[in-house]
Amino acid sequence: MKRPAPAFGLLFAATLLTGCATPFPPVDPPPPLTNRLTSPRPLADDTAGIQPRARPPVVVNVQPVSASHLEVAQIDGPKSSLSPSPFSAAVPVPSPTEPPAAAPGETPAASLATPAAHPRQPAPTLRADSDPIRALIAAETTDNAPTEPPPDLWHRIRRGFALPNLEGDLVRSQEQWYASRPDYIERMTNRSRKYLFHVVEELERRNMPTELALLPFIESAFNPQAVSSAKAAGMWQFIPSTGRDFALKQNVFRDDRRDVLASTRAALNYLQRLHRMFGDWHLALAAYNWGEGNVSRAIAKNKRAGLGTAYTDLTMPLETQQYVPKLQAVKNIVADPDSLKVDLPAIENHPYFQQVDLPRDIDVKLAAELAQVPLADFKALNPSAHRPVIFASGTPHVLLPWDNAEVFRRNLQAHKAGNTASWTAWTAPSTMKVADAAKRVGMSEAQLREVNKIPPRFLIKSGSTLLVTRPSTVRTDVPSQVADNGQMALAPEVVLRRVVTKAGKKDTLASLAKRHQVTVANIAEWNKLATSASLKAGQSVVLFLPPAPRKAGPRASNPAAKKSVRSARSGQRTSATNANKPRMAGKPAPKRAAHKKA
C-alpha cells in the first residue's frame, strides 16, 4: 500500500520539474562504535588506533520525472539514525517486525539482519547491485541495533570458545576432581577476578580462543606469586630461560614473570608462536607444558613408526597427558556449571584495574597508602615488585583498582613530605664481607642481610647491586641501567689453606682437580699455567683447599666405644657392637622379608 508523499516531497518534485536538480545534502558519518561487550570504562590502551568506520559517499543520479510519476513510498517503522535532512522522512526504512518484500534480484531485507553479537563476527555484507539508499539505511540500522552485553565475564568467555573439544576418561576424571572441591574453585575464581578481564581482552584483540584465558587456572590457580619446583614463576609459570626469551626482566629488583601485563603478553606471544609451529592448539598447549622440542621429537617418532601425530597419539609424560584434559574440564565447568553441579562465582564484565604512571621512585607501602588500597591488594596487582621500593626507571607504572587510580594521582600530586622513596641502589666496589658493606652504607649487618636476603657465611662479590637505605640528602632516583640490570652475586665465606703437592707420573691438571674437588681453571690460575698444560713427575703444584674435616674416632673414656673395639677384635656379636659396626664390603646384606599387603 502506498501513501501520498508529504508536502516537502512535492516541493522537491516541483524543483525537479523546473530543471534545477538539487543534490542530496551530505550525510554525516555515524559516531564511532563503542565496545558493547565491555563496560563504558575501557582500559587506557583498549581504544588506541580505533577509528570510525568510513563509509563511501552515496551518489544518486537525479533524473527529471513527470508529475504523474512523482510519488514517494513511505514504510511504517522507526526512523533512520542518519542526521536530519529534508528527505529523511521520505527514505524507506525497513520495519523491525515486517520487512518489505524484496524486488526481483534484490537481497531480502531479512538477510540483512544483524547476527548475534560476537567480538570476532564479521559485519554483514551488502549486495553491490542493491539500492544505495537502502544499503546505507540497512548498514546504519545494523550498526545501531541494540546489542545486549554479556551479563558477566563467563558469558563473554563462552562466546569466544573455539578450541576443539576433547573427550575421554581423563576429562571426566578431571571434571570430578574440580567438582568435588568447591572451596578450591571459589578460591581460584576470587583470585582470578583481578586479572581475568584483562586476559580476555587481550585474547579477543588477538583473535585467539578464549579458552586460553582459563589456562592460568591450570598453571598456577591464578596465583602470580606461585613458584614451581622447576623455578617456574608467575600465573603463566615461565621458567627463567623462557622468560628471558620473551623479554621478561629478572633482576634483583623485579621479576617480570610475575607482572600481570608483561607475563600475559609473553604467554600469548608464546602460544601464538607454538600454534604457528604445530598448526594445532592441542599440540601447542602440550608444547607450552612440555617444550616444543620434546613435542617435535614425539611427532617425528610417531611419523617414523607410521602412527598418528595428534595430541592423543603421542607418548608424553603423565603431566602433559593430563594438561589439555584439565583445561577441557575447566572449560566444561565454565560452559555448563549446572550440569556438573558447580557453583561458579560471577565475575563482572568490566576492568578491575587500570594502569597509572609513576613519575619517580616510591615505596610500596607509601604507594598503597596514597591509593587508599590495602597493602595486600596492592601487592596482588603488582606482584613483580617484590622489594619494598619501586624504581620508576625500571617499572614506570603500577596497576591500581579502577576507582582508586584517580585517588592515587591526586594524593601523589599533593604529597609534599620530601622523597617518596626511602630506598636506593648501591653497587659494591669490590668483594667484601656483609659487615663491611653495612658500615659503608650506614646500615646494620642484620638489616642489610634481611632486605637483600643474604644468607650467613657469604661474601658480597664485586659489582653486586644491593638495596640500601636512601639518605634524605639524595634527590636523584635510581637510573634505568641499574634498575633494569642490577644483579647480586655471592661467594662462600671460607678460609682456604695452602697445600703443595707433587704430581705423579700419570697426573694431569684434570686428575688433580678431580682428586681434590676443585676445577682445572682454579689449579691453572693458582700455578700460572694454561689449562692445557701437562705436568712432569715430581712437579710441585699449589692448591688452595678448605680446612680438612676433623676425624671422629672412639674416645678412650667412652665405655661403649671400648666395648665395641674389644668385640670387633674378638669377633663376638652383640647388640652394642652391631649398632655401630660397619658391614664388610664384600658381604651381602641379609634379605628382609617382603611386606605383604593385607
Inter-residue contact 535 to 508 (CB < 8 Å): yes
The SS3 assignment for 11 reads: helix
Contact predicate 210/160, CB 8 Å: yes
Which of 140, 211, 219, 369 is flagged as catalytic? 219
Kindly list the distances between the CA atom of residue 164 and the CA atoms of 199, 311, 319, 438, in Å, as whole numbers in the listed order: 20, 12, 20, 59
Q: How far is CA 559 from its chain centroid?
A: 65
Residue 206's nearest CA partner among 292, 148, 273 is 273
Cβ neighbour number for residue 581 with a 10 Å cutoff? 13
Of all helices (H) and strands (E), which one includes residue 131?
A: none
Letter for the amino acid at 354?
Q
User: Residues near 399 by Cβ (< 8 Å), separated by ≥ 6?
Assistant: 260, 261, 353, 354, 355, 356, 381, 382
Compute CA distances 84 → 12, 81, 447, 596, whole Å: 16, 8, 73, 91
Report the DSSP beta bridge partners of residue 238.
233
How far is the C-alpha of 146 from the C-alpha of 152, rounded, in Å? 18
Say how many C-beta atoms besides its own lie within 10 A of residue 275's C-beta.
19
Q: Give catalytic status of residue 219 as yes or no.
A: yes
Q: Which amino acid is at 358?
A: L
Rounded-to-integer distance, Cα 59 and Cα 222, Å: 56
Q: Which three cell numbers stand for residue 491?
A: 661467594
> Phi and psi dihedrals of 345, rounded to 5?
-60, 140
The C-alpha atoms of residue 391 and residue 41 are separated, in whole angstroms, by 29
Compute how many other C-beta atoms are within 10 angstroms of the C-beta atom of residue 287.
Answer: 24
Distance, CA of 144 to CA of 139 (rounded, Å): 9
DSSP codes of every residue in 375-402:
HHHHHHH-TT--SSEE-TTT--EEEEEG
| Catalytic residue ranges | 219
